Amino acid sequence: MNFGLIIIGDEILSGKRQDKHMPRVIEMLAARGLMLSWVRYVGDHRESITANLRDAFASGDVVFSCGGIGATPDDHTRQCAAAALGRPLALHPQAKLLITERAREMAAQQGTALDEDHPDMHRRLEMGEFPEGADIVPNPFNKIPGFTVGEVHFVPGFPVMAHPMIEWLLDHRYGHLHRKNEWQERSVIVYGSMEATLTPLMEEIEAQFDGVKVFSLPSVDHPQHGRHIELGVKGRPEQLDAAYPALIQGLGRYPVQLGPELVR
Q: Can you tell me the distance from the alpha carbon of 30 to that of 7, in angstroms, rounded to the nearest whole number?
A: 19
Q: Rounded to an integer, what distance in angstroms lies between the CA atom of residue 63 and that of residue 224?
A: 37
Intra-chain end-to-end CA distance of the chain, in Å:
22
CATH assignment, 3-177: 3.40.980.10
Q: Where in the chain is the domain with CATH 3.30.70.2860?
A: 184-263
CA dihedral 78, 84, 90, 93 (to 10 degrees): -70
Helix (H) or strand (E) run with residue 236 in it: none
- Residues near 18 by beta carbon (within 8 Å), at least 6 away in sequence: 12
Supply the pLDDT for residue 182.
Answer: 75
Which residues in the chain show pLDDT less than 70?
A: 181
Range(s) within the chain of domains with CATH label 3.40.980.10: 3-177
| Residue 181: per-residue pLDDT | 66
For 188-220, the pLDDT digits (tens) are: 999 999 999 999 999 999 999 999 999 999 999
pTM: 0.83
Return the HEC string of 28-85: HHHCCCCCEEEEEEECCCHHHHHHHHHHHHHHCCEEEEECCCCCCCCCCHHHHHHHHH
Q: Looking at residue 264, what is its pLDDT?
A: 79
Q: What angle do CA 48, 52, 55 make, to 5 degrees?
A: 145
To the question of domain 184-263 being in CATH 3.30.70.2860, the answer is yes
